[in-house]
Amino acid sequence: MFQDFRFILEKPLLLISLLVISLLPVIYTVTFLGAMWNPYDRTGDMPFHIVNEDTGNKDINIGENIVDELKNNNQLDWRFADLAEANEALKKGESYGYLEIPEDTSDNAMTFLSDAPKNVDLILTTNPGHNFIGSIMTEQAGTVMSDSVQQEITEVYTETLISELGTIADQSDEAASAVKELADGASALDKGLQELSNSSVQLKDGAANLEGGAVQINSGASELYSGELQFTGQLKQLSPMLGSYSQPLIGAQSELENGAGQLNEAGAELADSIGELENSLTQMNSGVEELKGGSAELSGALVDVNTRVSDLLAQFEEQNIVFSDEGAKAIANPVNLEIESTVDTQNYAQSFAPLILAVSLFIGGLTLNVVYPMNKIFKEKKSVLNQWLSRGLLFISHAVIISTLLYSVTVWGMQIEIASHWRFYLAMLVWSLVSITMIGLLVMIFGNFGKFLGIVLLIVQLSSSGGTFPIETAGSFYQTLYNILPMAFVVTGFKDAIFGQSFNMEFSTVIYTLAAVILASYLLILIVLWMKEKFPKYEEKASKMAKFEN
């Protein structure tokens, strides 16, 4: 029942190996999660360029404000350069993106209240071929900067509008006061005109009555005067004849004279009424003159109001303030962030293909060394050189098979777009040989324990190859491994072949470096075979290790 446990306990090397293998899940979890524990807290080492071409104006300089703000910001490794330098750094993989601030940025920011409002354009350029997640992180940074610029523009316009509206309010108060005075003057003028109209009517009626009375009095006076003259003449003719009748006639004459006196008194009263009428006419003329003065004052007030309103409109024109739907939309969303890319990514699969291909081919090399007995001693004794060449042919054959199969599935099955097919296949073939020879060397030296080391090597390279998050976010330990372990090189080579750009290093440098690893591993295999041939005890020890024996 416990035979297996007794067998394990009898072989300490096997026990140690099983215990170490039990740690593989722990090693994988700790190593992989450690590499991306919290990458957004380590973005300060990610290079990102700012291209400030904004010339600014007297009101605002957005480009300069952005640069000043970023100098005290550790979100990314901000670098300030011209457009050509930033673009070159991005294509070479020396930067994760750059933000271009055009020369008319500040000028456009001041057009939102004009008749032709223009948005502020910021241009963010990334390179998802270099690192897909890195490009997403820089896009987020670009969005934050865009929001910052938008807030700055909104603050400027808020201050401008408050200031201008304050001035306009003062001018409006003055105009309103003048309009009130104008209304009061118009009301008083209307009242005076009404009174003048009423007085004119009364005066007209009185004058008409006086005119009628005067006509009657004049007519009566004329008739009385004519009668008196006639009567006096006749009286003189008749006086000698009348004699005794003279006294009654004299009495009649006296009455006639009395009537004439009364008529004279009525004429005098009429003259007085005419004088009063003349006085009323004089007063009416004076009122008319006053109304003329009030009308002149009212006209002056109208001119003053017109002047103030004209000044108010002129102030709008001087400030080029135009309220429109387009301007309102521009103020609400003043910044237009344009995101461009140096490469066109087909999908997520294309972006992550370099890492997945590298891992797949490494597993292919590991599988060969797990299945095939690399330490097998053939019955027919062969020379060291013969065994070495035989191993080489085996390695090359397996590399060609797995590379061809993977190439076919990737290109024709999954239809992933490849910029350079010969580079793509060459990178597959070379990396397959690297994986096979490296793990083969470990297995030939350490036996089954070498297979375990091969798995550990896969885990370590997976977390330090820069295939997921930017390597700058992984910490110094992983960055050191990134510069040493070969998987980082082949990931760069696959990116070059897929996207047609060289990142970090030229494709030729990648191939030469991996070829050097193959040559070194293959030469070390030759040395191991020679040691087994020359030192039988070493061969015996290696054989026992392969079988987990003491």
Provide the pLDDT confidence category of residue 297 given band limits of 50, 70 and 90. Answer: low
CA dist 261 and 38 (Å) reads: 131
Query: Which of 67, 130, 71 has its CA nearest to residue 96?
Result: 130
Most confident of 190-194, 211-215, 369-373, 374-378: 369-373
* Mean pLDDT on 230-235: 52
Summarize pLDDT for 441-472 with one digit per residue, the tens: 999 888 888 888 999 999 999 888 888 888 88
Predicted confidence at residue 493, as pLDDT, reads: 94
The secondary structure of 225-241, three-state, reads HHHHHHHHHHHHHHHHH
pLDDT at 281 over 70: no
* Mean pLDDT on 3-20: 77
* Mean pLDDT on 413-433: 95
Predicted confidence at residue 359, as pLDDT, reads: 95
Spell out the long-range contacts of 64-68 with Cβ–Cβ below 8 A and sequence spacing 24 or more.
65/152, 66/101, 66/145, 66/148, 66/149
Predicted confidence at residue 48, as pLDDT, reads: 93
State residue 78 phi and psi, 5-degree precision: -70, 130
Range in 57-71, 352-366, 368-382, 478-492 with the lowest mean pLDDT: 368-382
Predicted confidence at residue 301, as pLDDT, reads: 54
Residues of the chain above pLDDT 70, percent: 63
Summarize pLDDT for 144-176 with one digit per residue, the tens: 888 877 777 777 666 665 555 555 555 555 555
Strands 120-126 and 335-341: parallel
65, 74 in Cβ contact below 8 A? no
Most confident of 5-9, 264-268, 300-304, 331-335: 5-9
pLDDT at 98 over 90: yes
pLDDT at 329 over 70: no
Predicted confidence at residue 129, as pLDDT, reads: 85
Token pair, residue 171, equals 């001018």
Predicted confidence at residue 509, as pLDDT, reads: 93
CA dist 423 and 354 (Å) reads: 13
Predicted confidence at residue 238, as pLDDT, reads: 46
Query: Which of 102, 83, 95, 166 has its CA nearest to residue 126?
Result: 95
Range in 46-50, 167-171, 524-528 with the lowest mean pLDDT: 167-171
Predicted confidence at residue 245, as pLDDT, reads: 44
CA dist 371 and 451 (Å) reads: 10
3-state secondary structure of 77: strand
Find the helix or strand (DSSP H, E) in which 137 lies. helix 132-242
How many Cα neighbours within 13 Å face the side chain of 271? 6
* Mean pLDDT on 5-24: 78
pLDDT at 273 over 90: no
Query: Which comes out higher in pLDDT, residue 59 or 156?
Result: 59
* Mean pLDDT on 91-97: 89
pLDDT at 403 over 90: yes
Query: Which comes out higher in pLDDT, residue 208 or 121?
Result: 121
Range in 203-217, 235-249, 468-482 with the lowest mean pLDDT: 235-249
Find the helix or strand (DSSP H, E) in which 337 lies. strand 335-341
Report domain extents, the chain: 3-24+347-546, 40-163+322-341, 173-318
40-163+322-341 to CATH, choices 3.30.910.10, 3.40.718.10, 3.40.1710.10, 2.30.110.10 = 3.40.1710.10
pLDDT at 83 over 70: yes
Query: Which of 427, 440, 357 has its CA nearest to residue 393?
Result: 440
Predicted confidence at residue 232, as pLDDT, reads: 54
pLDDT at 93 over 80: yes
Amino acid in position 436: I
Query: Which comes out higher in pLDDT, residue 239 or 324?
Result: 324
CA dist 523 and 532 (Å) reads: 14
Predicted confidence at residue 84, as pLDDT, reads: 92
pLDDT at 520 over 50: yes
pLDDT at 478 over 50: yes
Query: Which comes out higher in pLDDT, residue 207 or 498?
Result: 498
State residue 475 phi and psi, 5-degree precision: 95, 160
pTM of structure: 0.68
Sign of CA dihedral 320, 323, 326, 328: positive
**Residue 287 CB neighbours (<10 A):** 16
* Mean pLDDT on 386-406: 94
3-state secondary structure of 458: helix
Query: Which comes out higher in pLDDT, residue 22 or 53?
Result: 53
* Mean pLDDT on 303-322: 57
Tell how far CA 356 is from the center of its chain: 36
pLDDT at 325 over 70: no
Provide the pLDDT confidence category of residue 487 given band limits of 50, 70 and 90. Answer: very high
Most confident of 43-47, 258-262, 432-436, 447-451: 432-436
CA dist 502 and 465 (Å) reads: 16
Mean residue pLDDT of the chain comes to: 76
**Alpha-carbon distances of 135 from 141, 311, 338, 342, 469, rounded to whole Å:** 10, 54, 14, 11, 10
* Contacts with 530 (C-beta within 8 Å, 6 or more apart), sequence order: 384
For the chain, the first-to-last Cα distance in angstroms comes to 24
Amino acid in position 41: D
CA dist 322 and 167 (Å) reads: 16
Predicted confidence at residue 408, as pLDDT, reads: 96
Report the side by side order of strands in the sheet with 77-80.
77-80, 47-52, 97-101, 120-126, 335-341
Predicted confidence at residue 241, as pLDDT, reads: 47
238, 252 in Cβ contact below 8 A? no
pLDDT at 550 over 60: no
Predicted confidence at residue 248, as pLDDT, reads: 52
CA dist 237 and 284 (Å) reads: 56
Q: H helices within 338-420, ranges in order?
A: 348-371, 384-408
427, 356 in Cβ contact below 8 A? no
**Alpha-carbon distances of 97 from 63, 87, 341, 475, 497, rounded to whole Å:** 17, 8, 9, 21, 21
CA dist 477 and 475 (Å) reads: 6
101, 66 in Cβ contact below 8 A? yes
Provide the pLDDT confidence category of residue 282 given band limits of 50, 70 and 90. Answer: low
CA dist 55 and 110 (Å) reads: 13
pLDDT at 394 over 90: yes
Assign domain 173-318 to a CATH class: mainly alpha
Find the helix or strand (DSSP H, E) in which 5 lies. helix 3-10
Residues of the chain above pLDDT 90, percent: 26
Amino acid in position 311: D
164, 530 in Cβ contact below 8 A? no
Token pair, residue 426, equals 């060459």
Predicted confidence at residue 433, as pLDDT, reads: 97
Token pair, residue 316, equals 């709008």
* Contacts with 494 (C-beta within 8 Å, 6 or more apart), sequence order: 353, 354, 357, 358, 424, 427
